[in-house]
Amino acid sequence: MIVETEQQKWRFVAAVTGASVVASVAVTAVVAPLGLTTVALIPSIVAPLIVAPVASHWAAHLLLRIHRLNTHLAHLMRHDQMTGLLNRGAFFEYFEEQDQPVAGAVLMADIDEFKRINDTYGHAVGDRVICTVAETMRSEVEAHGILARYGGEEFVAFLPQLSLTQAQQLAEQIRVAVEDHIFLHDGKNLRFTLSIGVEQLDRAGTLDEILICADRALYEAKRSGRNCVVRYSA
Protein backbone atom coordinates (compact mmCIF):
# COMPACT_ATOMS: atom_id res chain seq x y z
CA MET A 1 0.00 0.00 0.00
CA ILE A 2 1.26 3.49 -0.91
CA VAL A 3 1.64 5.91 1.99
CA GLU A 4 1.94 9.50 0.73
CA THR A 5 -0.46 11.38 3.06
CA GLU A 6 -1.59 11.32 6.69
CA GLN A 7 -4.92 9.84 5.57
CA GLN A 8 -3.16 7.02 3.75
CA LYS A 9 -1.04 6.40 6.84
CA TRP A 10 -4.10 5.75 8.99
CA ARG A 11 -5.70 3.64 6.27
CA PHE A 12 -2.52 1.57 6.26
CA VAL A 13 -2.73 1.11 10.04
CA ALA A 14 -6.38 0.10 9.82
CA ALA A 15 -5.77 -2.31 6.94
CA VAL A 16 -2.78 -3.99 8.58
CA THR A 17 -4.59 -4.28 11.92
CA GLY A 18 -7.67 -5.78 10.30
CA ALA A 19 -5.60 -8.22 8.26
CA SER A 20 -3.65 -9.19 11.38
CA VAL A 21 -6.86 -9.97 13.29
CA VAL A 22 -8.23 -12.06 10.41
CA ALA A 23 -4.95 -13.93 10.03
CA SER A 24 -4.70 -14.55 13.77
CA VAL A 25 -8.25 -15.92 13.96
CA ALA A 26 -7.64 -18.13 10.92
CA VAL A 27 -4.45 -19.56 12.38
CA THR A 28 -6.14 -20.13 15.73
CA ALA A 29 -8.99 -22.01 14.03
CA VAL A 30 -6.46 -24.33 12.42
CA VAL A 31 -4.08 -24.96 15.31
CA ALA A 32 -6.35 -24.76 18.39
CA PRO A 33 -7.14 -28.30 19.61
CA LEU A 34 -10.78 -27.46 20.30
CA GLY A 35 -11.25 -24.96 17.43
CA LEU A 36 -12.54 -21.43 17.87
CA THR A 37 -13.78 -21.59 21.42
CA THR A 38 -14.22 -18.43 23.43
CA VAL A 39 -11.03 -19.16 25.32
CA ALA A 40 -9.05 -19.39 22.06
CA LEU A 41 -10.90 -16.65 20.15
CA ILE A 42 -10.44 -13.78 22.63
CA PRO A 43 -6.60 -13.81 22.70
CA SER A 44 -6.48 -14.39 18.92
CA ILE A 45 -8.30 -11.06 18.50
CA VAL A 46 -6.88 -9.06 21.40
CA ALA A 47 -3.20 -9.82 20.70
CA PRO A 48 -3.13 -8.42 17.13
CA LEU A 49 -5.31 -5.48 18.23
CA ILE A 50 -2.55 -4.55 20.67
CA VAL A 51 0.53 -5.30 18.57
CA ALA A 52 -0.57 -4.52 14.99
CA PRO A 53 -1.57 -0.84 15.45
CA VAL A 54 1.75 0.00 17.09
CA ALA A 55 3.88 -1.86 14.55
CA SER A 56 1.87 -0.72 11.51
CA HIS A 57 1.84 2.91 12.71
CA TRP A 58 5.62 2.86 12.99
CA ALA A 59 5.94 1.30 9.52
CA ALA A 60 3.44 3.76 8.00
CA HIS A 61 5.21 6.71 9.60
CA LEU A 62 8.51 5.49 8.14
CA LEU A 63 6.98 5.03 4.66
CA LEU A 64 5.46 8.53 4.80
CA ARG A 65 8.77 10.04 5.87
CA ILE A 66 10.59 8.24 3.03
CA HIS A 67 8.02 9.55 0.55
CA ARG A 68 8.43 13.12 1.81
CA LEU A 69 12.22 12.88 1.69
CA ASN A 70 12.07 11.51 -1.87
CA THR A 71 9.71 14.31 -2.87
CA HIS A 72 12.02 16.89 -1.32
CA LEU A 73 15.03 15.35 -3.05
CA ALA A 74 13.23 15.38 -6.40
CA HIS A 75 12.41 19.07 -5.84
CA LEU A 76 16.05 19.88 -5.00
CA MET A 77 17.25 18.11 -8.13
CA ARG A 78 15.01 20.26 -10.35
CA HIS A 79 15.09 23.63 -8.59
CA ASP A 80 17.67 26.27 -7.81
CA GLN A 81 18.09 26.36 -4.03
CA MET A 82 18.62 30.12 -3.81
CA THR A 83 15.70 31.37 -5.89
CA GLY A 84 13.35 28.38 -5.97
CA LEU A 85 13.17 28.63 -9.76
CA LEU A 86 13.72 25.67 -12.06
CA ASN A 87 17.40 24.99 -12.62
CA ARG A 88 19.09 24.74 -16.00
CA GLY A 89 18.76 20.96 -16.20
CA ALA A 90 15.04 21.04 -15.41
CA PHE A 91 14.52 23.69 -18.09
CA PHE A 92 15.94 21.37 -20.74
CA GLU A 93 14.03 18.40 -19.29
CA TYR A 94 10.78 20.29 -19.87
CA PHE A 95 11.35 20.13 -23.62
CA GLU A 96 12.52 16.51 -23.53
CA GLU A 97 9.28 15.52 -21.78
CA GLN A 98 7.04 16.99 -24.50
CA ASP A 99 5.39 14.49 -26.84
CA GLN A 100 5.85 16.74 -29.86
CA PRO A 101 7.90 19.81 -30.84
CA VAL A 102 6.76 22.99 -29.14
CA ALA A 103 6.66 26.60 -30.25
CA GLY A 104 6.79 29.87 -28.38
CA ALA A 105 9.08 32.70 -27.37
CA VAL A 106 12.32 32.52 -25.40
CA LEU A 107 13.69 35.24 -23.12
CA MET A 108 17.29 35.40 -21.96
CA ALA A 109 17.84 37.93 -19.16
CA ASP A 110 20.97 39.03 -17.32
CA ILE A 111 21.45 41.42 -14.39
CA ASP A 112 23.49 44.40 -15.56
CA GLU A 113 26.92 45.01 -14.01
CA PHE A 114 26.37 42.27 -11.47
CA LYS A 115 30.10 41.96 -10.72
CA ARG A 116 30.12 45.60 -9.66
CA ILE A 117 27.20 44.91 -7.30
CA ASN A 118 29.12 42.03 -5.71
CA ASP A 119 32.38 43.97 -5.52
CA THR A 120 30.74 47.08 -4.06
CA TYR A 121 28.19 45.64 -1.64
CA GLY A 122 29.30 42.04 -1.10
CA HIS A 123 28.02 38.66 -2.20
CA ALA A 124 25.20 38.62 0.36
CA VAL A 125 23.66 41.67 -1.30
CA GLY A 126 24.36 40.13 -4.70
CA ASP A 127 22.40 37.05 -3.67
CA ARG A 128 19.50 39.21 -2.51
CA VAL A 129 19.52 41.03 -5.85
CA ILE A 130 19.37 37.70 -7.71
CA CYS A 131 16.41 36.59 -5.56
CA THR A 132 14.64 39.91 -6.08
CA VAL A 133 15.01 39.70 -9.86
CA ALA A 134 13.90 36.05 -9.78
CA GLU A 135 10.73 36.94 -7.87
CA THR A 136 9.99 39.89 -10.16
CA MET A 137 10.36 37.73 -13.25
CA ARG A 138 8.34 34.91 -11.68
CA SER A 139 5.39 37.23 -11.05
CA GLU A 140 5.37 38.27 -14.73
CA VAL A 141 6.19 34.92 -16.35
CA GLU A 142 4.32 32.28 -14.32
CA ALA A 143 0.98 32.90 -16.05
CA HIS A 144 2.54 32.44 -19.50
CA GLY A 145 5.22 29.77 -19.29
CA ILE A 146 8.25 28.52 -17.37
CA LEU A 147 11.20 30.34 -15.84
CA ALA A 148 14.61 29.01 -14.83
CA ARG A 149 17.83 30.31 -13.37
CA TYR A 150 20.18 29.60 -16.24
CA GLY A 151 23.37 30.25 -14.30
CA GLY A 152 24.82 32.94 -12.05
CA GLU A 153 22.84 36.13 -12.65
CA GLU A 154 21.26 34.87 -15.89
CA PHE A 155 17.66 33.68 -16.35
CA VAL A 156 15.77 32.00 -19.18
CA ALA A 157 12.03 31.82 -19.82
CA PHE A 158 9.95 29.89 -22.33
CA LEU A 159 6.55 31.33 -23.21
CA PRO A 160 4.53 28.87 -25.32
CA GLN A 161 1.40 31.01 -25.21
CA LEU A 162 2.96 34.19 -26.58
CA SER A 163 3.99 35.47 -29.98
CA LEU A 164 7.36 37.13 -30.38
CA THR A 165 5.75 40.58 -30.22
CA GLN A 166 3.83 39.69 -27.06
CA ALA A 167 6.99 38.23 -25.51
CA GLN A 168 8.86 41.43 -26.30
CA GLN A 169 6.13 43.43 -24.55
CA LEU A 170 6.31 41.13 -21.52
CA ALA A 171 10.10 41.45 -21.45
CA GLU A 172 9.71 45.23 -21.40
CA GLN A 173 7.31 44.94 -18.45
CA ILE A 174 9.91 42.85 -16.62
CA ARG A 175 12.68 45.31 -17.43
CA VAL A 176 10.65 48.26 -16.15
CA ALA A 177 9.59 46.39 -12.99
CA VAL A 178 13.23 45.61 -12.17
CA GLU A 179 14.37 49.16 -12.94
CA ASP A 180 11.62 50.64 -10.74
CA HIS A 181 12.31 48.33 -7.81
CA ILE A 182 13.84 50.09 -4.81
CA PHE A 183 16.33 47.88 -3.00
CA LEU A 184 17.08 49.02 0.54
CA HIS A 185 20.58 48.35 1.89
CA ASP A 186 22.13 50.02 4.96
CA GLY A 187 19.56 52.81 4.78
CA LYS A 188 20.31 53.51 1.12
CA ASN A 189 18.08 52.94 -1.89
CA LEU A 190 19.90 50.86 -4.48
CA ARG A 191 18.74 50.26 -8.02
CA PHE A 192 19.77 47.72 -10.61
CA THR A 193 18.71 46.88 -14.14
CA LEU A 194 18.19 43.97 -16.49
CA SER A 195 19.07 43.33 -20.12
CA ILE A 196 16.88 40.89 -22.07
CA GLY A 197 17.19 39.12 -25.40
CA VAL A 198 14.09 37.73 -27.15
CA GLU A 199 13.76 35.08 -29.85
CA GLN A 200 11.03 32.85 -31.30
CA LEU A 201 11.14 29.04 -31.07
CA ASP A 202 9.17 27.35 -33.85
CA ARG A 203 8.58 23.65 -34.36
CA ALA A 204 11.20 23.51 -37.12
CA GLY A 205 14.05 24.90 -35.01
CA THR A 206 16.01 23.33 -32.19
CA LEU A 207 16.13 24.66 -28.65
CA ASP A 208 19.93 24.97 -28.72
CA GLU A 209 19.79 27.12 -31.85
CA ILE A 210 17.13 29.40 -30.39
CA LEU A 211 19.01 29.81 -27.11
CA ILE A 212 22.11 30.82 -29.04
CA CYS A 213 20.06 33.43 -30.92
CA ALA A 214 18.44 34.71 -27.72
CA ASP A 215 21.88 34.93 -26.12
CA ARG A 216 23.14 36.95 -29.08
CA ALA A 217 20.18 39.29 -28.67
CA LEU A 218 21.08 39.60 -24.98
CA TYR A 219 24.68 40.42 -25.92
CA GLU A 220 23.40 43.10 -28.28
CA ALA A 221 21.31 44.55 -25.43
CA LYS A 222 24.46 44.72 -23.29
CA ARG A 223 26.42 46.32 -26.11
CA SER A 224 23.64 48.86 -26.71
CA GLY A 225 24.00 50.28 -23.22
CA ARG A 226 22.22 47.69 -21.04
CA ASN A 227 18.78 48.05 -19.42
CA CYS A 228 16.94 47.30 -22.66
CA VAL A 229 15.12 44.56 -24.56
CA VAL A 230 16.51 43.41 -27.90
CA ARG A 231 14.74 41.18 -30.40
CA TYR A 232 17.05 38.85 -32.29
CA SER A 233 17.70 39.67 -35.93
CA ALA A 234 19.91 37.53 -38.15
DSSP the chain: ----SHHHHHHHHHHHHHHHHHHHHHHHHHH-TT-S-HHHHHHHHHHHHHHHHHHHHHHHHHHHHHHHHHHHHHHHHHB-TTT-SB-HHHHHHHHHT-SS---EEEEEEEETTHHHHHHHH-HHHHHHHHHHHHHHHHHHHTTTSEEEEEETTEEEEEETT--HHHHHHHHHHHHHHHHH--EEETTEEE---EEEEEEEE-TTS-HHHHHHHHHHHHHHHHHTTSSSEEE---
CA 199 to chain CA centroid, nearest Å: 25
Decide if 6 is catalytic.
no
CB 55 within 8 A of CB 17: no
In the set 4, 93, 96, 153, the catalytic residue is: 153
> CA-based angle 9:10:14, to the nearest 5?
120
Active site residues: 153
